[in-house]
């Protein structure tokens, strides 16, 4: 196995970066900054990032089979047209709950877009790590970003055994995905909301986008929304 390398490829200063998705067609990484109400796309070749600001917190973004993207914005499922930066509402839930919003979303193998709201309950692990965003590698193993744990861990979904731990130079790791050539790279989002000035000085890359290489395992392409 080659040695693991971790680098901050984009010092984005996300308040709460989430939902990284690799778009193979453009060699780009999509992600959101939830409280900043932004959907972002980072070109891995030019190193440039484009940002589109929405009218409510954006909790997830996904590819769409028919082109463009879909995203969960507030309590709405929306279709995104990147060229004209427009959003069309596909469906709305919880109209009677003004302070509610989606917390995350993923497309399943059947092309269905699932999203969870903020009423979800998480189980705390030791060291006050909170399991957050996750992805699956080509061997069927689960990779989980641990919020307040500053790491991503590889788990066997059958036995629950921890197989690998990769520590990052930031505490608030939020989610992860595979991307790059042959999906051999891992990208990790993180947050800086809730950190005091001293913490930000200790972790100047908090809120950035990290790339991990040398894991010795590859990922799979993300599923696209079929609607």
- Binding-site residues for a divalent metal cation sit at 18, 132
132 catalytic per annotation: yes
Sheet holding 58-63, edge to edge: 58-63, 69-73, 76-81, 86-92
| Whole-angstrom distance, CA of residue 134 vs CA of residue 211 | 15
The number of C-alpha atoms within 13 Å of 201 and in the hemisphere containing its C-beta is: 3
Residues 60, 71 contacting (CB under 8 angstroms): yes
Q: Phi first, then psi: what are they for 110, rounded to 5°?
A: -85, 0
> What's the distance, CA 208 to chain centroid?
12
Residues 174, 145 contacting (CB under 8 angstroms): yes
Q: Residues forming the annotated binding site for substrate?
A: 101, 103
Q: Residues forming the annotated binding site?
A: 18, 101, 103, 132
Q: Which is catalytic among the residues 132, 156, 171, 196?
A: 132
Q: Could you give the residue numbers annotated as active site?
A: 132
């Amino acid at each position: 196995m080659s040695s693991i390398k971790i680098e901050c490829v984009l010092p984005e200063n996300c308040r709460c970066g989430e939902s990284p998705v690799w778009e193979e067609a453009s060699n780009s990484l999509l992600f959101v900054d939830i409280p900043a109400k932004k959907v972002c796309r980072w070109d891995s070749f030019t190193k440039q990032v484009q940002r589109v600001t929405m009218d409510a917190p954006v909790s997830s973004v996904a590819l769409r089979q028919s082109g463009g993207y879909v995203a969960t914005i507030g309590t709405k499922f929306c279709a995104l047209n990147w060229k004209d930066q427009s959003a069309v509402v596909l469906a709305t839930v919880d109209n009677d709950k003004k302070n509610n919003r989606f917390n995350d979303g993923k497309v399943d193998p059947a092309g269905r877009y699932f999203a969870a709201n903020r009423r979800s309950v998480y189980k705390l692990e030791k060291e006050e790590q909170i399991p957050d965003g996750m992805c699956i590698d080509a061997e069927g193993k689960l990779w989980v970003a641990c919020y307040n744990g500053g790491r991503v861990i590889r788990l066997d979904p059958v036995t629950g055994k921890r197989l690998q731990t990769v520590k990052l130079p930031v505490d608030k790791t939020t989610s992860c995905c595979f991307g790059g050539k042959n999906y051999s790279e891992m990208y990790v989002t993180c947050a800086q909301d809730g950190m005091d000035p001293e913490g930000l000085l200790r972790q100047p890359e908090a809120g950035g986008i990290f790339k991990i290489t040398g894991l010795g395992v590859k990922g799979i392409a993300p599923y696209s929304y079929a609607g």
